[in-house]
Structure 1
Amino acid sequence: MDLRWLKPLLGRPAPFTTVYLDATRAESAGETETVDRWRALRRTLERDGAPSGVLDEIGDLVATPTGVRGPHGRVVVADAHGVVVDRVLAEPPAQSSAVHGPAPALLPAVRAADETVDLVVVRVDRNGADLVRTSHGSRPAGAVDVEHVEGGHDDVHKTREGGLDRRSQTRAEDSWQRNAEAVAEALDRRVAEQAPDVVVLTGDVRAVALVKEALGRPAAELVVEVLGGTRGEGVHQDAFDGKVAEVVAEFRRRRRETVLDRFRQQLGRGEGAVTALDDVIDVLRRGQVDELVLHTSAITGLGERELWVGPEPLQVALDADELSSLGVGDDRRRMPAGVALLRAALGQDAGVTFADDGTVELVDGVGAVLRWSDGSTPSESVPSQSADQRRLRSVV
């Protein structure tokens, strides 16, 4: 999972205010329901000492509609000066909550973001297409991205009989082809610029086929055809959305399994992957991590532990003495273990994948897939001296 949306939090001044809000708006309550939830949270934050200016800014944001229909949530993170992250979540939290403290409360948001799939939905007809960028999972609040492509060739109707009508048929087919090429060009450009996970192609069957034929390889490899969509009015939206949700669920499953399969294989070989908190900390400090792997229960378990961190993201240790041995002086502090691990992962552009029960064995609920290994990298083929007994009894 890509965590780049959290990178603006690195190096920001504490304290942090983190808000998880049910942003669902009931038809009868209009705009007031979300604001009422926020007011209750604000009273808690005021008691905890959150700055009034920051709270005013958050209040203005949550009072602005997200533009999302149906149940959804919102996470807002502010530093000492103002809002840094504002994100819409596909699922509302079980209970709205807010925390003010020395570190942002990020694990629930990252867990939700693990479900995020970026899509471009392309609704095609013989004149052109509508390209809609959307996300299933989480996305920036207020993000709307729609592009209308008109091919410019409007002789798109065939006639049925021979003679001069054959020329009409030829002109119509040529117009379809040119219009499809215009759509493909726009889609190729969008894939190159935005790197979506999946391209959903739907609409007129003949136009869809022509667009696919005209696409470059990068875009073509992302295409999934979904029947039932159409450009303009007439689509049975709920049925179409259900088919798209199936495509998204399958992509999530394959994405997660690709990472976990790589973790299993490399752990089995004794190189390229590690597990156990101390070994994961070791490889994070060295910038070796490609993907941090967390058990779903780690959201709770890691929240109950603390690590020591320095001013830089990769300065992380189990205790203060270990951090001092790395050259970190007085500028050190405790941080919740989950936040410290995510901070270090962000600092080296690593991703995060969550593993469900029974999918992989994770000591302490954490593991890592590595970019590189050397002779000093912890090896899981033989338990290291620091963690022998704990490994034998603490596998999740």
Structure 2
Amino acid sequence: MDLALLEPLYAGDASVASVHLDTSRVTHDADKQNELRWRAARRSLSEQGAEEADLAVLDDVVGGAPDLPGPQGEALFVSAGRLLGAFSLVEPPAADSARVLPVPDPLGVAIDRDHQLPHVVVAVDREGADVEAYPAAEHEPALRRTFNGSTLHITRVRAGAEAKASFHRRTVNLWTENTGQAADDVRAAMARVEAAVVLVAGDPKAVGLLREHLAARQPDGEVFYVEGGRTDSSARAALRASVDAAMHEVMTNRHRDVLARLEGELAGGRALQGIPAVKEALSEGRVETLLLAADRSEDPVLFASRRDPRALGTERAALGEDSTAFSAPAATLLLRSAVLGGASFTEILPPTRCTDGVAAVLRY
């Protein structure tokens, strides 16, 4: 994933309070549960020395998306009484976290965005289609189009042979026209969010016609056919579940491709693994893609500079007489160097294992 969205988090030199919370709304008492989570996180931040001005800013913005049901999370970053960034998370964090560090700790955001792709969801039947375009990691569509074509003679009628044939031709023509309009809506939706994936569900006949229309001008993204539809709440619920499962499969396959490339690049000397080697490559600006495992429970401390965000050392002395030197957990500093060095990011998914849970594909 592109790490550019994290750049504003590194605007200042003061300590940063980083908060990742599960703000899911799947139970009747979700508001109360979310309030308790924030109280615990606030208490932890205070014990770590967070400024009251920073806590007050968080009080005003914490809470997730109250109008959105289902699993979700949020990540908030505050420094010197200013909100640096607020991110909705499609997937709740594995565990709530609240940290005060010299730099932000946005690994949870990077991992969440790394799991998402811009996509279009299509529910089609013989009367029309619902088309929704989702930017990466957004709960709400950036574009929604609902099309209902003519329903006159949309199904066969009881009549004589000649009449039945005539009505049948009209029915097929209407189905074709309706799905043709749906195909145009799909292309417009894909362009709006630069979709990588299109997920199509609905009436089998209409899906088949839509497939033919899309094949005439093949979309740039991958097209998947999933279960569900637009007829009622149960069909829409089935569609949402199918979309989530399909997107997870797409994400997993894409990660496997990246990790397979990593394996080949390691063998060819165009990639590195382990904190010592990767920190040196980041310092030299040679990293194209930084890869980190999500579990950072055994991270060592590294030293970094305010003057040069790419400079990293395992010892304070490695930075010489730099009066701006500071220490922080390795992952936060590796990610900082990657963000400010223009590198991209990919999570190291199990069962792939790298030394220290760290690897890098090199530019040169």
Alpha-carbon distance in structure 2 between the residues aligned to 1:296 and 1:97: 13
Change (3 A) 1:44 1:322: closer
Q: Aligned with 1:211: secondary structure?
A: helix
Q: Which moved further from structure 2: 331-340 or 239-248? A: 239-248
- 1:261 corresponds to which letter in structure 2? A
Q: Aligned with 1:32: secondary structure?
A: helix
The question of 1:150 aligning with 2:143 is answered no
Match of 2:344 among 322, 329, 351: 351
Structure 1 residue 9: deviation in Å? 1.4
Partner of 2:96: 96
Residue ranges of structure 2 left out of the alignment (5+ in a row): none
Structure 1 residue 259: deviation in Å? 0.8
Match of 1:281 among 279, 284, 304: 279
Change (3 A) 1:58 1:144: farther
Partner of 2:175: 176
Partner of 2:218: 217
Partner of 1:368: 360
TM-score, normalisation: structure 1:
0.77
Partner of 2:23: 23
Change (3 A) 1:342 1:209: same
Runs of 4+ in 1 over 6 A off after TM superposition: none
TM-score, normalisation: structure 2:
0.83
Partner of 1:381: none
CA contact (8 A) 1:26 1:33 kept: no
Change (3 A) 1:158 1:96: closer
Change (3 A) 1:330 1:186: farther
Alpha-carbon distance in structure 2 between the residues aligned to 1:183 and 1:314: 49
- 2:272 corresponds to which letter in structure 1? V
1:280-337 Cα deviation digits (max 9, x unpaired): 123223433232122444x1233x321323445434444455545xxx9544433332
Change (3 A) 1:331 1:66: same
Change (3 A) 1:84 1:267: same
Q: Aligned with 1:282: secondary structure?
A: helix
Partner of 1:307: 303
Residue ranges of structure 1 left out of the alignment (5+ in a row): 374-396
CA contact (8 A) 2:291 2:358 kept: yes
Structure 1 residue 254: deviation in Å? 1.0
Alpha-carbon distance in structure 1 between the residues aligned to 2:96 and 2:103: 19
Alpha-carbon distance in structure 2 between the residues aligned to 1:154 and 1:348: 57
Partner of 1:291: 289
CA contact (8 A) 1:274 1:280 kept: yes
C-alpha RMSD of matched pairs (Å): 3.2
Q: Which runs of structure 2 are paired with 1:101-250 in the superposition (5 Å)?
A: 101-133=101-133, 139=137, 143-145=140-142, 147-150=144-147, 152-155=149-152, 157-160=154-157, 161-163=160-162, 166-215=165-214, 216-219=217-220, 221-227=221-227, 229-233=228-232, 235-236=234-235, 239-250=238-249
1:137-196 Cα deviation digits (max 9, x unpaired): x935x7454512326555461435544554544443333333323222222222233133
CA contact (8 A) 1:151 1:183 kept: no
Q: Which runs of structure 2 are paired with 1:73-92 in the superposition (5 Å)?
A: 73-92=73-92
Structure 1 residue 35: deviation in Å? 1.9
Partner of 1:390: none
Equivalenced residue count is 360
CA contact (8 A) 2:291 2:348 kept: yes
Q: Which runs of structure 2 are paired with 1:251-270 in the superposition (5 Å)?
A: 251-270=250-269
1:83-139 Cα deviation digits (max 9, x unpaired): 23323334444553322232122334434444334432211123332223458xx93
Change (3 A) 1:193 1:81: farther
